[in-house]
Amino acid sequence: MLTLHFAPNSRASRSLWLLEELGLEYELNRMDFHPKDLKSDEHRARHPLGRIPVLDDGDVSIYESGAIAEYILECHKNGGLKPASNDPRFPEYLQWFHYCEGMVMPPVNTIVVHTILLPPERQDETVRGQAERLLAKAWAPVETAIEGREYLIGDFSAADTMLGHACIMSKRLGIVTDEAFLNLSAYADRLMTRPACAKAFSA
């Protein structure tokens, strides 16, 4: 049985979303996004930095949301929600799957730190503003690429659980808006109508 160690409002939602989309059986170890859970000795034995998600599969324990997604796709669904390597869409799938962590999430992290995690007296408006501008630039090519498409490569894929999760978060942070990114804003709304996505974000 797969076990996902999960905390809400985190990258762990991507892993839960993918498990739900694939209809896999799993157990959910729901923890609070708080040091008392994440920095506990028990959880540090799973992840040395005390972060989530972590996926347990028998004797296998793996962390990093992208690695978890690839593991699930290769080991539990015979490549489901992922085009074959000889599919013309495969290069674009890989690009958007990894674009999330490479280009989008670093400024998202900075914005979250300087709007939510730090106390008001330690928040830096200049740093936050720089991150917001960088995030907007990162979304610009995706806005163009998704024009006329329902999902990133046409059909729904695991790339949507990765980059789509970041798009939903960016919309909640006020960066992806109808005014600035009409295509992406509609895409985020479309993703949230998927039952698996809605369940992951409400868990």
Fold of 90-195: Glutathione S-transferase Yfyf (Class Pi); Chain A, domain 2 (1.20.1050)
Which amino acid makes up residue 88? Answer: P
Q: How does pLDDT run along the chain (203 residues), one tens digit per residue?
A: 999 999 998 999 999 999 999 999 999 999 998 889 999 999 999 999 999 999 999 999 999 999 999 999 999 987 789 999 999 999 999 999 999 999 999 999 999 999 998 999 999 999 999 999 999 999 999 999 999 999 999 999 999 999 999 999 999 999 999 999 999 999 999 999 999 999 999 98
Helix H or strand E encompassing 6: strand 2-6
What integer pLDDT is reported at residue 78 of this predicted model?
74
- C-beta separation of 83 from 100 below 8 A: no
Bond from prior residue into 195 cis (ω within 30 degrees of 0): no
What integer pLDDT is reported at residue 131 of this predicted model?
98
- C-beta separation of 16 from 6 below 8 A: yes
Which residues have CB under 8 Å from 20's CB, separation 6+?
Answer: 195, 196, 199, 200
What integer pLDDT is reported at residue 80 of this predicted model?
87
Domains of the chain, residue spans:
2-76, 90-195
What are the tokens at 88? Answer: 């013309």
Fold of 2-76: Glutaredoxin (3.40.30)
What are the tokens at 200? Answer: 């992951």
What are the tokens at 162? Answer: 């990765």
- What is the 8-class DSSP label of residue 153? B
Query: CA 120, 175, 193: angle at the middle one, nearest 5?
Result: 115
- C-beta separation of 68 from 28 below 8 A: no
Taking the C-alpha atoms of residue 44 and residue 48, their distance in angstroms, rounded to an integer, is 5
What integer pLDDT is reported at residue 20 of this predicted model?
97
Fold matches, 2-76 and 90-195: no
Residue 90 C-alpha from the chain's centroid: 19
What integer pLDDT is reported at residue 34 of this predicted model?
87
What integer pLDDT is reported at residue 97 of this predicted model?
98
What is the pTM (predicted TM-score) of this model? 0.95
Taking the C-alpha atoms of residue 107 and residue 12, their distance in angstroms, rounded to an integer, is 18
Taking the C-alpha atoms of residue 161 and residue 184, their distance in angstroms, rounded to an integer, is 14
Q: Where are the alpha helices (DSSP H) in the chain?
A: 12-22, 35-38, 41-44, 65-76, 90-99, 105-112, 125-145, 158-172, 182-192, 195-202
